[in-house]
């Protein structure tokens, strides 16, 4: 059996058993979303988007971009009212930046059904 087909079958079975999408499923979807979001802009970022890419420092996101990204995440993952404040705030203050990997980890937690 093709390895990617086997992985998709295992992921589908996990989802059917009440598990959310895996890190390996979420990360490429986030990268695709960010690539689409930044493709029309001249942001000065020449590297490929990956796990360590920072939204503010690397992609030059401002607050409006972060809000747009959050809305697109909710749309892409078909989930409303995700608690983005848990990702974007620490000790009652907004964080200076977050990485794509941190967003992926946040989504793994938020999209996994509670038992």
Q: Which residue has the higher pLDDT, 6 or 87?
A: 87
Rounded to whole angstroms, how far apart are CA atoms 91 and 69?
23
Confidence of residue 2 (pLDDT cuts 50, 70, 90): very low
State the DSSP string of 52-100.
Answer: T-BTTTTT---HHHHHHHHHHHHHHTT--S--HHHHHEETTEE-S--BH
b/e burial code for range 18-40 (CB count within 10 A of at least 16 → b):
eebbbeebbbeebbebbeebbee
Q: What is the pTM of this model?
A: 0.80
* CATH of the structural domain 3-111, one choice from 1.10.1200, 1.10.3470, 2.40.10, 1.20.1630: 1.10.1200
For 28-68, what is each residue's pLDDT tens digit? Answer: 999 999 998 888 777 667 778 999 999 999 999 999 999 99
Q: What's the pLDDT at 21? A: 87
Helices 63-76 and 23-38 pack at an angle, to 10 degrees, of 130
| Domain segments of the chain as ranges | 3-111
């Amino acid at each position: 059996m093709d390895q990617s087909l086997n992985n998709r079958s295992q992921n589908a079975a996990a989802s059917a058993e009440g598990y959310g999408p895996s890190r390996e499923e979420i990360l490429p979807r986030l990268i695709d979303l960010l690539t689409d979001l930044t493709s029309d802009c001249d942001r000065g970022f020449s590297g490929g988007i990956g796990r360590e890419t920072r939204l503010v420092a690397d992609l030059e996101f401002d607050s409006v971009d972060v809000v747009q990204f959050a809305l697109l995440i909710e749309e892409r993952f078909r989930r409303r009212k995700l608690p983005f404040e848990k990702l974007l705030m620490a000790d009652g203050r907004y964080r200076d930046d977050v990485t794509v990997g941190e967003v992926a980890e946040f989504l793994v937690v938020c999209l996994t059904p509670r038992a």
